[in-house]
Structure 1
């Protein structure tokens, strides 16, 4: 797969990824690395035409770029966003395996096949995306609901230093990236996840606290079994609000609801005062 050539249609100029440097480079990399025939094996997995398997960590290295005299790696969060964009545009499908992510170029045969070639295995554009994804994963064991420990560990590694472009991410994107990287599987969030993130942002909680608490919740979570994990941001939303509420009350001064105690004068003291007043003014007081 390191020799030969690929076809690249000129209509790529009109596609949105043309202006997204990382996504365009990633798609080109997948095209160049994808198997050009059925039956090629990588680490024991047999690939079909148009497939490539690679870990996210390795993709970060593959897409490193030179800035002045230094080489900089693209972060995993950037890779995840680019893959998400390619999936949403119907350009690739993904399938998680124990050794990496299996990428399949959608309609690879249509664009990369030889002119006039008749291939009975050609997939039509009308084939449902879900069916394509199932077919793409057919050469490997059925994907586990959760990634293996080695894959999960990959997402738990300390995030690489963000590039200048990433510093301009919105709070929503930073929270989304943190959640996806810690969840350890999948490239996209659900509508319910998005709504929960929006609700958290509306609480005006400092972004730094939110990101720290996401890590904290994942670190403290104790699964009951191998298929038990945090699968929704709604779970994180509740935990973050609990921590925010506790923090707010911790910094509030305690209100003193106890009024000052004023002891009542003893009855005997009143009588003594009256007796003194009577004596000073020549008034007969009591039985004297």
Structure 2
């Protein structure tokens, strides 16, 4: 874990830049990946750009501080980030009995290796010389972890608070909420404002914000809270002003006949 890695400036234009967990995960994999062929970790020989790690350990690796406490990223969230990186062609993964084998696609290109260097390829069927019991856990534990992970992916749904938190942090470009931000979100949830409205209005507020200078940004969720409340009040007012159009007066048959007679100069009566 000595030395340094290269990170291209174009990363700020990539979609993972606004996805905090995915960006941190990709950076972690770059930092941890083997820089040459033949390096062994717990008896497993890795190739350039490869790293082996269990999802439970990645939860520890990506732990972050929120206020005075530390918060872990859930396994299902990490799995979603892994799938996003795979979909974008940035990594490939294969499950082994000793953990998940991550391979950085074009690792040599990212880190400035010569194109004449021997490229690496990994397959799902590549045999492992050993199946050690190490900090990744035993074989049985790994299999159970994979089962639990798949179940969590199917069952876990982000709470309303988490969805609002993710949206705000992505737009703000921050890693965690402040205690004041959490209080603001909870107040909105107590107001029973529809979640889809809140998420849509957060985007609107950030899109419409006009900074006075480069250091002028939306710093707290309280700013969004006020904008959302304003929009919610306006929406409710519009809904209350909607009234049914009065029905036209229905004419009876005699009135209709009398009107017909007047239009044509016919005198009615005896």
Higher RCO (CA-CA < 8 Å; seq separation 6+) = 2
Structure 2 residues not aligned, in runs of 5+: 130-137, 165-270
C-alpha deviation, 1:138, in angstroms = 3.3
Q: SS in structure 1 opposite 2:93?
A: strand
Gap runs ≥5 in structure 1: 124-131, 142-146, 170-288
Q: Which has the larger radius of gyration?
A: 1
Relative to structure 1, the CA distance from residue 12 to residue 118 in structure 2 (aligned partners, 3 Å threshold; closer, same or farther) is: closer
| Distance apart, 1:72 and its partner CA | 0.4
Q: Which residue of 2 aligns with 1:140?
A: 128
Q: Is the 8 A contact 1:63 1:74 kept in 2?
A: yes
Within 5 A, what are the aligned runs for 1:110-149? Answer: 110-114=109-113, 117=114, 119-122=116-119, 132-134=121-123, 138=126, 140=128, 148-149=139-140
Is the CA contact (8 Å cut-off) linking 2:5 and 2:31 kept in structure 1? yes
Following superposition, the deviation at residue 90 of structure 1 comes to 0.3
Structure 2 partner of 1:168: 163
* Count of residue pairs the alignment pairs up: 153
Give the TM-score taking structure 2 as reference length.
0.50
- RMSD over aligned Cα, in angstroms? 3.2
Question: What displacement does 1:53 show?
Answer: 0.4
SS at structure 1 position matched to 2:126:
helix
Q: Is the 8 A contact 1:35 1:49 kept in 2?
A: yes
> Does the 8 Å contact 1:39/1:46 carry over to 2?
yes
Aligned CA distance change for structure 1 residues 11 and 151 (closer, same or farther; 3 Å): same
The CA deviation at 1:42 is 1.1
Distance 2:161 2:59 in 1: 15
Instruction: Give distance in 2, aligned partners of 1:26 and 1:137.
Output: 25
**Deviations 1:187-237, CA, capped at 9 Å, x for gaps:** xxxxxxxxxxxxxxxxxxxxxxxxxxxxxxxxxxxxxxxxxxxxxxxxxxx
Superposed counterparts of 1:1-288, under 5 Å = 2-114=1-113, 117=114, 119-122=116-119, 132-134=121-123, 138=126, 140=128, 148-155=139-146, 156=148, 167-168=162-163
User: C-alpha offsets along residues 218-274 of structure 1, whole Å, 9 cap, x if unaligned?
Assistant: xxxxxxxxxxxxxxxxxxxxxxxxxxxxxxxxxxxxxxxxxxxxxxxxxxxxxxxxx
Q: Is the 8 A contact 2:33 2:51 kept in 1?
A: yes
What is the distance in 2 between the residues matched to 1:25 and 1:5? 16
Decide whether the 8 Å contact of 1:98 with 1:148 is kept in 2.
yes
Alpha-carbon separation, structure 2, partners of 1:99 and 1:72: 26
- TM-score normalised according to structure 1 size: 0.47
Question: Could you give the per-residue CA deviations for residues 126-171 of structure 1, whole angstroms, max 9, x where no partner exists?
Answer: xxxxxx442x863637xxxxx9532232243897x998787439xx
Would you say the 8 A contact 2:109–2:115 is kept in 1? no
